[in-house]
Structure 1
Amino acid sequence: MPDLPPLREVVARHGLSASKALGQNFLFDEQLLDRIAAIPGDLAGTRVLEIGPGPGGLTRGLLRAGADVTAIEMDRRCLPALGELEGAFPGRLRVIEGDALTLDHDSLMGGPYAVVANLPYNVGTALLVRWLGGQEWPPRWTSLTLMFQQEVAQRIVAEPGSDAYGRLAVLAQWRAVPRIALKVHRSAFTPPPKVMSAIVHIVPRAMPPGVNARTLGRVTEAAFGQRRKMLRQSLKGVPGALDALASLGIDPQRRAETLSVEDFVAIARELG
């Protein structure tokens, strides 16, 4: 392993500071970063996609774990620091300047890959919906290990009937298994955010047969878009949805948060 200078020293030398506009918060604790890199399991020789590496704290942990990392960074200020890391790990790190929301991740990575990222708060949910929303399943990614605000993490793993249960929970759970792997105190970051954070680890599982991902997306978006209304109101704009409820014996006077993930899958299957 190359002898790297402390990350705080690198940040100071390049005059870097976390950008609020980009949703950045830096982590400097090397032990914590190594713990995050260990969550997906053995990464030796594994292709890993990292979004928003900043000055490269988590990137260091992933490289120490033996991963071959592709890092997408849109903040040009961080590129020189990441370039130094590229030089320290020749052939093991590829830095791409760009917007992760617009790039084709599968094309960039080639074969199967894991995603490990301390996601910028302002794009985290949008990226998660993109990774979970495709019709092609199983996906090219083998696991997602992602940092979110703790409130968002709780929404991903929420159970029916809870205040946190909603569209994100259904999207994450109908063909994948999410869990909160690690909680991270706000004091671990520089600057400290106003909220607590958590690492969510998601592994894909078999896709239920006969279900179209876009149909399920339309149903959940309509149902939870008006979550305080009864299903007969919230789903009336989805063609065939009320007939599907009748066919499945689901009371149209129920509200979306009372339906299980399996209920939503059944409705989507009825709609074809």
Structure 2
Amino acid sequence: MPITNVVVNCTDVQRSVEYYAKFLEVELIGEATAERAVLDAVTATIELRAVEAGREQSTWVGDDLQKGFRHLGFKVDRLDERAEVLKAAGVEFKLDPLDAEGKVRICFFYDPDGTLLEMIQGDLQYAEMLDAEGVARERALGVPPRPRFDHVAVTVEDRAATDAYYRDNFGFSFIGTIEQPHDPRGFRIGYLKSGDTVLEVFTYEHEKSSRAPQLDVAGFAYAELAGDPPPDLTEATAPDGTTVYVDPDGFAFSVGPTV
């Protein structure tokens, strides 16, 4: 079942609403409060939740060798034009626009509280296609009229184990791979698709670090998947009482109604 919602903690909800609306053209659902706002990102919602600034230091680092959450990805048109608007506004970039493996154009930048975001333009040309029907469904989505949520990227220890877990419990399908032959760390990417959303799975031959999820500090908190509670995973509780599950690589998610 797909990713239906992504919870992002922020220190100023209104500031983040304005940021996501201006740069990613999300649409506010209902009314924003000082504590919470829900944004329509076409294929999923982005839920902004307020946390106290400086309450606790985030342990997330922008090193893809740290297992667990890495970034949120959005499919876009006119990537370079959008990047120029971001730069003119003083938004911090991690990676300027470039042509990447898989014949797509990408860039990486940060939201006001340091959550790493990616824009992607074009259809991925996979090094190995594993599910032709899944790839066809992905490409049938076409060029988005406004940026649409596409994926959550995670670094994992064992791609096969991750594939099996999310396939068996949530119906994700491993649709293809991208190789990174110039990366000395032995970097590979796999794509697990469900509905219109994707888990982008990073693996490395290099040694990786671990991180426990932090549900009450600024930044990515957890994703919500449609489905039933999974078996045999560590549980945590979000500030609003939501039960959150933590997979073996430290990626946090809740479960909600099947869509």
Higher relative contact order (CA 8 A, sep 6+): 2
Q: Which protein has the larger Cα radius of gyration, Structure 1 or Structure 2?
A: 1
Q: Which has the higher strand share?
A: 2
Compute the TM-score of the two structures, normalised by the length of structure 1. Answer: 0.31
Compute the TM-score of the two structures, normalised by the length of structure 2. Answer: 0.32
